[in-house]
Structure 1
């Protein structure tokens, strides 16, 4: 079966590899050749369309340079929109536009608009009163600032509220008409029937399933033979980046369309020829079909070779396998009937010789197994007796070693306890010394604190006296500000009286006529001086009022601070008493620490004697335990050897029985 699979896979692999390699090369060559030919066709068609676009650009330039049109556009701005002259001028402009449309039947309509979007004149029969150019179209044309603006194909037209025209698809050309004689600009919009593009592209064939379309840089369909997709996003599944290079050939994102394109130098639109890849390479599929046919023929040949191999090799091998299975079950008398001298015959002859030698070997092994079984039985009995004696010795030795180990452990534990007590005693002594030093420091700090508290009491009393004096001075200052306010009231009244007197003097001077003019000037200066005095008095009053408020707040703060100073004096005195009590207690505490230190020193000396005694006991116990453990280890080792000898004897006996039983299965 393996040989058959090798033949089958090898033949199919090479046949399919050669066939499909040829198919792929042929497909790529055909695709490239067709793409190159279509590319030239699309480029030529695109150049022809550029010539057509140039005709419309020239027509717009002709309208721009028309002297009579310029004159009419200048006049239409100067007349009243509701007058008869305005209607007459618009009719004249419309007639001029009709002349241009008659000269080129592919122009669907010509429109002229004000710069605001309102209609001046049109050739499609729409009423000009309510008709306006669409906002996006107007913005695009004005944005190009006098240059040609090509507007993508639309089926809904370019005008708002238009009742004329039809729903036929059209693309547009727009430009701003600038007139030096007029103060405003006019907008020209030319609607061009999209069928003119269809006529130019009618002879281009992209094969079955192919199409020729025009798309804008915004990937909107400007022209297609399918009218329903015009003005909608393209369905070619391609990005604008793929069309930006100069290769004129690309693939769509799904890799199922071959695209050839040309970018118009006039409109910036893309003329694209799309061809299905499957349609391009359908002739190359003949190679793929032939490859499959050859693969089937090769498979039939491989099957025939497999049957022949099975007859020549498989049948003798199966016979030899069956004879080996009988030998595996214990029949050593089987032999193969050898008829040929090839490799299979030599294999059968070798099998017969192997079976004869195995038969002789089994007879000799059977006799040896019987002798080994008898020897193993005697060895097993002797091993069991030795193992019993070694087990009893090991038990006694383990008990002795266990007692010695327990004694060593307990002595070691006592030694560790005495050592731990010694370390703790040293720590207690050190702590006691530190505590005594700290108590002395506390006593010194307490004396220093008492001195500081005495000085703090004196300073607090002085602060209280200063606060009391400050309160009295602030009260005197408050009385002074009240006196200032009374003086300011008197000055304010004087200012008012002066102002009244100056007013009366002005009135009297006015009555005196020319003789009183000099006196009127003096009265006016007095009135100004009175106003300045009044303003200055008001400012001084505000400052005095501010000082009065701040004095009141100062008095309030000092009044609140005085009881706090009183409480502070009491707290300082209480702290002084506490420091004195701490000094007395610390003196007694230092005396008690001296007595405790002496007792701990005596206890430390006794602990050192106990530690030496426990060290000696531990050393003796460890030496005894080590000797006992060595004896126990030797006894355990002897017991393990005896047990292992017994196990080996039993195992040898079992193997002898097993060998004898296995050999009894063979027929010799």
Structure 2
């Protein structure tokens, strides 16, 4: 099957490779030749269109240089727009434009506009719009400042015609200037029937499904047989970058169209021919069909070769494989019947010789295995007895080594505990010393606190006496304030009487007439003094009343503070008693600390002796443990050797039995 697949795949590979390589090369050559021929056609058509564009540019130049046209435009600027002379000039201007329009039948209309966008005159059509200044094409003509401007096709024309008919046109625009002043006189717009281009491109054939069209630099359709696409972006997936190559032949982005193009030197438009690649290479499809037919024939031949190989090689090999499977099952009596002397026959003879030698080898091996089995049985018995003795010795040795190790561990542990106790004893001694020092400091601080509390008691007593005196003085001040208020009441009455007297004196002076005028002045002054005295008394009364309120508040505050001072004195005295008790207790505590420190020092000396004794015990225990472990290690090693010997004996016995069982499967 592998040989058959190799023949089949190899033949199909080479047949398909040669066939499709030929198809690919043929398709490329046909595509290249057709593209070259179409490229020349497009170039010739583009050159013809450039000649046509040149004719229109020359005609616009004639209009620009015509002296009568210049004079009429100049006169129209100086004549009133609503006058009869203006109408006459406009009619003459229209007649002049008709002459140029009739000179070329492909021109649909010629229009003149003022620089402001207002229509001046037209030949071949008219418009009802008042101005075209906002149109994109009008701005484009102005921007080129006198150079010829080609405008993309509009399906309804550039201006509204009087008849209402809409014809697809492309246009040429130019600014008409006064040569003497270089000022703009008018804007010329020449509309050309799109059918003019159609007639020039009618003879170009791009094959079935192909098309010829003119694209603007922004890839919008300027001319196409399908007028509905004019003015819209092209449906052919092409970009300006693809048309920037000098080869003038390329493919679209989808690689399904062959494109040939020519860029006009006059308009900048692209004359583009698009041909479906599938249509170009349809003649090369015969090579692909022949390739598939040859592949089918090659498949049939490969199948025939495979059948022959199966009969010549496959059957003998299958027979040999079956015999080998029987030998695998233990039947060493199988032999292959050889009828040929080729490689298959030689293979059968070699198989027969191999089976004979294997049969002889199995017989010899069976005898040897029987002898080995008997020897292994005797060796296994001896090894088991030796292993039992070694195991008992090892157990006893391990028990001795375990006891010695336990003793060494306990000694080491006792040594560590003794050392730890010594360290803790030292820490306790140090702590006792620190506690003694701290207790002495506390006792000193207690004595100093007692002194401070005595001084605080004295000062508190003095503060209490001063507070008591302050309360008494404030009470006296309160009584003095009451006396002042009584005096103010008396003064107020005096002021009222003085005011009444001054009023009576004023009345008497008025009765006396001129003789009492001097007395009247004195009475007025007395009345003023009485008013001032009354006002001053009132102010003093207010101040006195305020002082009275503050004194009352002071008395109230002192009355509230006095019990607090009493409680403070009691607390200070209690604190003094506490300090004295602390001093007494600290004296006894310091004495006890001294006794404890002395006992701990004696205990520390005893612990040092114990530490030396535990160190000696630990050393002896470690030496005994090391000796016991060495003996146990030797016993364990002997036990391992005995166990290994038993395992090897058992393994040898198992191998002997296994070999005997394996050999018993063969039929010899």
User: TM-score, normalised on structure 1?
Assistant: 0.68
Per the alignment, residue 194 of structure 1 pairs with 194
1:170 aligns to 2:149 (yes or no): no
Per the alignment, residue 521 of structure 2 pairs with none
Distance 1:421 1:114 in 2: 124
Deviation at 1:34, TM superposition (A): 2.0
Distance 1:291 1:314 in 2: 32
Per the alignment, residue 22 of structure 1 pairs with 22
Distance 2:414 2:92 in 1: 134
Question: Residue 97 of structure 1 aligns to a residue in which SS?
Answer: helix
C-alpha change, 1:639 and 1:75, in structure 2 (3 Å) is farther
User: 1:146-173, CA deviations, whole angstroms, 9 ceiling, x for partnerless residues?
Assistant: 11111112214334x7665543322121
Distance 1:419 1:287 in 2: 106
* Aligned 8 A contact 2:109 2:125 in 1: no
* Aligned 8 A contact 1:134 1:158 in 2: no
Per the alignment, residue 77 of structure 1 pairs with 77
Deviation at 1:422, TM superposition (A): 9.6
Distance 1:201 1:388 in 2: 118
* Aligned 8 A contact 2:176 2:184 in 1: no
Distance 2:225 2:282 in 1: 24
Per the alignment, residue 225 of structure 1 pairs with 225
Deviation at 1:267, TM superposition (A): 0.6
Per the alignment, residue 56 of structure 1 pairs with 56
1:320 aligns to 2:326 (yes or no): no
Distance 1:261 1:605 in 2: 119
User: 1:259-289, CA deviations, whole angstroms, 9 ceiling, x for partnerless residues?
Assistant: 2211111011111222222222222222222
Deviation at 1:220, TM superposition (A): 0.8
Per the alignment, residue 365 of structure 1 pairs with 365
Distance 1:254 1:37 in 2: 22
Per the alignment, residue 34 of structure 1 pairs with 34
Point out the structure with max Rg over C-alpha. Answer: 2
* Aligned 8 A contact 1:119 1:133 in 2: no
* Aligned 8 A contact 2:418 2:610 in 1: yes
Instruction: Output aligned runs, 1:645-656, within 5 Å.
Output: 645-656=645-656
Deviation at 1:313, TM superposition (A): 0.8
* Aligned 8 A contact 1:106 1:193 in 2: yes
C-alpha change, 1:276 and 1:404, in structure 2 (3 Å) is farther
User: 1:483-516, CA deviations, whole angstroms, 9 ceiling, x for partnerless residues?
Assistant: xxxxxxxxxxxxxxxxxxxxxxxxxxxxxxxxxx
* Aligned 8 A contact 1:113 1:133 in 2: no
Instruction: Output aligned runs, 1:595-614, within 5 Å.
Output: none
C-alpha change, 1:198 and 1:125, in structure 2 (3 Å) is closer
C-alpha change, 1:178 and 1:664, in structure 2 (3 Å) is same
Distance 2:615 2:78 in 1: 133
Question: Residue 36 of structure 1 aligns to a residue in which SS?
Answer: helix
Deviation at 1:372, TM superposition (A): 2.5
Gaps of 5+ in 1: 437-591
Question: Residue 259 of structure 2 aligns to a residue in which SS?
Answer: strand
Which range moved further: 60-69 or 399-408?
399-408
User: 1:284-322, CA deviations, whole angstroms, 9 ceiling, x for partnerless residues?
Assistant: 222222222222222221111111111111111111111
Distance 2:217 2:302 in 1: 59
Instruction: Output aligned runs, 1:411-560, within 5 Å.
Output: none
Distance 1:620 1:185 in 2: 135
Question: Residue 284 of structure 1 aligns to a residue in which SS?
Answer: helix
User: TM-score, normalised on structure 2?
Assistant: 0.68
User: 1:534-583, CA deviations, whole angstroms, 9 ceiling, x for partnerless residues?
Assistant: xxxxxxxxxxxxxxxxxxxxxxxxxxxxxxxxxxxxxxxxxxxxxxxxxx
1:291 aligns to 2:302 (yes or no): no
1:214 aligns to 2:218 (yes or no): no
* Aligned 8 A contact 2:4 2:303 in 1: yes
User: 1:98-133, CA deviations, whole angstroms, 9 ceiling, x for partnerless residues?
Assistant: 222221121122222222333222335343444636
Distance 2:228 2:198 in 1: 15
Instruction: Output aligned runs, 1:276-425, within 5 Å.
Output: 276-409=276-409
* Aligned 8 A contact 1:257 1:276 in 2: yes
1:108 aligns to 2:120 (yes or no): no
Deviation at 1:418, TM superposition (A): 8.1
Question: Residue 258 of structure 1 aligns to a residue in which SS?
Answer: strand
Question: Residue 153 of structure 1 aligns to a residue in which SS?
Answer: strand
Instruction: Report how many aligned residue pairs link the two structures.
Output: 508
Question: Residue 239 of structure 1 aligns to a residue in which SS?
Answer: coil
C-alpha change, 1:34 and 1:397, in structure 2 (3 Å) is same
Which range moved further: 55-64 or 363-372?
363-372
Per the alignment, residue 255 of structure 2 pairs with 255
Per the alignment, residue 239 of structure 2 pairs with 239
User: 1:223-266, CA deviations, whole angstroms, 9 ceiling, x for partnerless residues?
Assistant: 12222222111122122112223221222212222222111110
Distance 1:620 1:120 in 2: 138
Distance 2:637 2:410 in 1: 28
**Cα RMSD between the aligned structures?**
3.6
1:632 aligns to 2:632 (yes or no): yes
* Aligned 8 A contact 1:112 1:121 in 2: yes
1:132 aligns to 2:132 (yes or no): yes
* Aligned 8 A contact 1:422 1:607 in 2: yes
C-alpha change, 1:378 and 1:156, in structure 2 (3 Å) is farther
* Aligned 8 A contact 1:172 1:190 in 2: yes
C-alpha change, 1:64 and 1:626, in structure 2 (3 Å) is farther
Question: Residue 339 of structure 2 aligns to a residue in which SS?
Answer: coil
Distance 1:172 1:240 in 2: 23
Distance 2:416 2:273 in 1: 102
User: 1:359-401, CA deviations, whole angstroms, 9 ceiling, x for partnerless residues?
Assistant: 2222222232233333333333332333333333333333333
* Aligned 8 A contact 2:115 2:186 in 1: yes
Distance 1:253 1:307 in 2: 51
Deviation at 1:403, TM superposition (A): 4.0
Which range moved further: 300-309 or 637-646?
637-646
Question: Residue 104 of structure 1 aligns to a residue in which SS?
Answer: coil
Question: Residue 282 of structure 2 aligns to a residue in which SS?
Answer: coil
